[in-house]
Amino acid sequence: MRILIAVDGSICSYAAVKEIAARPWPAGSEIKIIAVIERALTPPPGIWAFPDSYAVQIEKLTREYLSGVINHAATKFNAVDGPPIKVAAEVLSGEPKEIILDEAERWGADLIVVGSHGRRGLKRLWLGSVSQAVVSQAKCSVEIVRCPKANASQGA
């Protein structure tokens, strides 16, 4: 079984990792944990223009942060009882919805797991829903793990 887990450093993605790490998986199962850096928008020229290196610096800091997030998530599978699970982790760049779907197909995932922020109304309209896009377009099974209700407001 090949399980792709997409994380973003939120409580919701941590809940997804915890959920998957708590389950017994068949021998030979593989986990791939990915995090996606959304490309920074280039600011328009003007009085408050950012230096040319702005996007590069933001991407570097984000990559460092997300590397820590996926490495922390990967450690959850080192202490799993049962057969050993091969774990890979990677930070990718692009539109999260597209990258998750493309990586799942490229890697041959049997299951995609994402956490859901549970946004509603205008927030969902403006920010979009990665989990909804993945569910509606994936060519494999998808599991959406909700944030614990008591902590949902902290991660969103």
pLDDT score for 119:
54
**DSSP codes, 81-130:** SSS--EEEEEEEES-HHHHHHHHHHHHT-SEEEEEE----HHHHHHH--H
Residues 6+ apart with CB under 8 A from 8: 35, 36, 66, 69, 96, 115
Mean pLDDT by 10 residues, the chain (156 residues): 95 92 91 90 62 80 94 87 88 94 97 79 52 90 81 45
pLDDT score for 39:
73
At residue 64, φ and ψ (nearest 5 deg) are -60, -45
pLDDT score for 151:
47
3-state secondary structure (DSSP) of residue 4: strand
pLDDT score for 116:
82
CB 35 within 8 Å of CB 7 = yes
Residues 6+ apart with CB under 8 A from 34: 4, 5, 6, 7, 70, 89, 90, 91, 92, 99, 100, 103
Spatial separation of the C-alpha atoms in residues 14 and 6, rounded to whole Å: 10
Q: Which domains does the chain have, with CATH numbers?
A: 2-155 (3.40.50.620)
pLDDT score for 154:
46
CB 111 within 8 Å of CB 103 = no
pLDDT score for 146:
85
